[in-house]
């Protein structure tokens, strides 16, 4: 394809679509993670009798990579949901299905046997039910697996220079242009400066780590950020800012991300009409550590979400796990999701939802039949689509 005949914006869109296709071809699990809209289309077509749980804020894209250590505005760390792009008020069963599919797909990619996948889904349901009843965010609902404790310890030891080297590959006050970052035209950079100077955004930045209200926020550098998988093709910017006027000046990295409609089915009648406000509201309900660090705004007429990245924010990778760790991690991660759902329910609602889950599984299994059947069917659909996607990508590359 001759890209010279297109505008700069069109060339950017073409490149990002190609990058997204390339990332989704790397593994079956990567394909699952980047295929959210098709996932829900297939789920609707399957016709499986999925129970309708109480309407609560759900993640909507509850795969393994979207859980991990998250720091709050004071630097305290908890394992919570770390990406809420698809959040909506919906059926909590959809988060269970998405997490189970992600675990099963990652297990296959890690060469774990099918018996381990079955055990993971069993333990996941038990962990979810435990998490629903455990509302104390300071204590884990189930014991943290070794790999989770390891990643959490790593998060506790991270500082600004770790974040800078990981995200922008440099600790000097600039964003290096190249593979991951593109230069911005003057009007885009100016608009980002205006966005960061809005009272609600500036106030959010200064609230982190108890910064002084008299401090100043200065934009040092900004770039288009080629990041993520499902978010490629949408507006995404990195902004390097300098907070001055305190005893110790500080550099911070700001993530500005376009907010779009959720692919997850909605049950909510009181959803914010602005997509950015919807993402922030969902984050505050599901992941307080993250939600308190986010603000909604508008850039070029499109809704965006602004958040300051923290060195402690990390994600878990299921590929790290042994068989034993995979099973214990499945139970633990599901308990995190259960806690996120449960804190939005009354005691009676939680008990009723647990009763619904427990009434739908065989006597010799903890996992409901509908969940196992749905995951198996979705795995088959995703596997076929993944192979076709890889073939198309190979032809395109050739």
Digitized pLDDT (tens) for each residue of the chain, 398 residues in all: 555 545 566 777 777 778 878 888 877 777 887 788 889 999 988 877 888 999 999 999 998 888 888 877 777 788 889 899 999 999 999 999 999 998 888 887 777 788 888 888 899 999 999 999 887 666 666 777 666 777 666 666 566 555 565 555 555 577 888 888 888 888 899 999 999 988 888 888 887 756 666 778 888 889 998 876 666 568 899 898 887 766 566 778 889 999 999 999 999 778 999 999 999 999 999 999 888 889 999 998 999 999 988 776 767 665 556 778 888 888 999 999 999 999 999 999 999 999 988 877 766 666 788 888 899 999 999 888 888 888 887 777 76
Q: What is the distance between the alpha carbons of residues 22 and 102, in angstroms, rounded to a whole number?
A: 19
Look up residue 343 and give its DSSP letter. T
Residue 269 is classified by DSSP as: S
What pLDDT was estimated at residue 54? Answer: 95
In 3D, which of 168, 292, 161 has the Cα closest to residue 220? 168
The pLDDT score that the predictor gives to residue 232 is 59
What pLDDT is recorded for position 7? 58
Supply the pLDDT for residue 76: 78
Q: In the chain, count H helices and then E strands.
A: 14, 10
What is the reported pLDDT for 396? 74
Phi-psi region of 69 (alpha: psi -120 to 50; beta: other; left: phi over 0): beta
What is the per-residue burial (b if ≥16 Cβ within 10 Å, else e) of 217-248? bebebbbbbbebbbbbbebbbbbbbebeeeee
- Cα 40 from Cα 21, distance rounded (Å): 19
Question: CA 123 to CA 366: how far, in whole Å?
Answer: 8
pLDDT, position 284 = 94
Query: From CA 54, how far away is CA 379, in angstroms rounded?
Result: 26
**What pLDDT shows up at residue 303?**
95
- pLDDT value at residue 230: 64
Q: Where are the alpha helices (DSSP H) in the chain?
A: 8-24, 28-33, 36-46, 92-109, 114-133, 146-156, 160-167, 186-196, 199-207, 275-286, 288-291, 323-342, 347-358, 369-397
Cα separation, 360 vs 369, whole angstroms: 6
* Helix/strand/coil for 360: coil
Q: Given this model, what pLDDT does residue 167 score?
A: 58
In contact, 243 and 205? CB cutoff 8 Å: yes
Pairing verdict, β 88-90 and 77-81? unpaired
């Amino acid at each position: 394809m001759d890209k010279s005949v297109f505008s700069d914006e069109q060339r950017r869109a073409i490149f990002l679509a190609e990058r997204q296709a390339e990332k989704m071809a790397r593994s079956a699990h990567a394909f699952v993670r980047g295929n959210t809209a098709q996932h829900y289309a297939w789920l609707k077509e399957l016709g499986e009798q999925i129970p309708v749980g109480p309407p609560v804020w759900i993640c909507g894209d509850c795969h393994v990579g979207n859980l991990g250590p998250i720091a709050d505005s004071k630097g305290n760390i908890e394992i919570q949901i770390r990406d809420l792009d698809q959040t909506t008020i919906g059926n909590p069963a959809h988060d269970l299905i998405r997490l189970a599919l992600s675990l099963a797909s990652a297990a296959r990619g890690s060469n774990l046997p099918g018996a381990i996948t079955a055990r993971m889904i069993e333990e996941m349901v038990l962990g979810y039910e435990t998490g629903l009843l455990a509302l104390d965010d300071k204590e884990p609902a189930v014991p943290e697996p070794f790999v989770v404790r390891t990643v959490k310890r790593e998060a506790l030891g991270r500082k600004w220079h770790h974040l800078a080297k990981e995200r922008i590959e440099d600790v000097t006050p600039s964003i290096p242009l190249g593979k991951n970052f593109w230069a911005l035209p003057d009007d885009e950079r100016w608009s980002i400066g205006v966005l960061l100077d809005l009272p609600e955004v500036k106030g959010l930045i200064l609230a982190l780590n108890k910064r002084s209200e008299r401090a100043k926020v200065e934009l040092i550098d900004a770039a288009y950020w080629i990041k993520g998988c499902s978010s490629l093709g949408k507006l995404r910017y990195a902004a390097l800012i300098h907070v001055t006027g305190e005893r110790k000046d500080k550099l911070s990295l700001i993530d500005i991300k376009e907010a779009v409609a959720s692919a997850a089915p909605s049950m909510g009648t009181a959803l914010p009409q602005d997509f950015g406000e919807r993402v922030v509201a969902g984050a505050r309900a599901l992941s307080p550590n993250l939600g308190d660090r986010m603000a909604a705004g508008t850039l070029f007429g499109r809704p965006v979400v602004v958040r300051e990245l923290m060195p402690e924010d990390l994600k878990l990778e299921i590929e790290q796990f042994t068989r034993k760790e995979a099973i214990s991690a499945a139970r633990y991660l599901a308990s995190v999701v259960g806690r996120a759902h449960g804190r939005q329910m009354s005691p009676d609602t939680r008990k009723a939802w647990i009763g619904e889950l427990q009434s739908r599984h065989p006597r010799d299994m903890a996992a409901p039949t509908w969940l196992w059947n749905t995951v198996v069917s979705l795995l088959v659909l995703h596997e076929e689509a993944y192979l076709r996607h890889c073939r198309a990508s190979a032809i395109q590359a050739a």
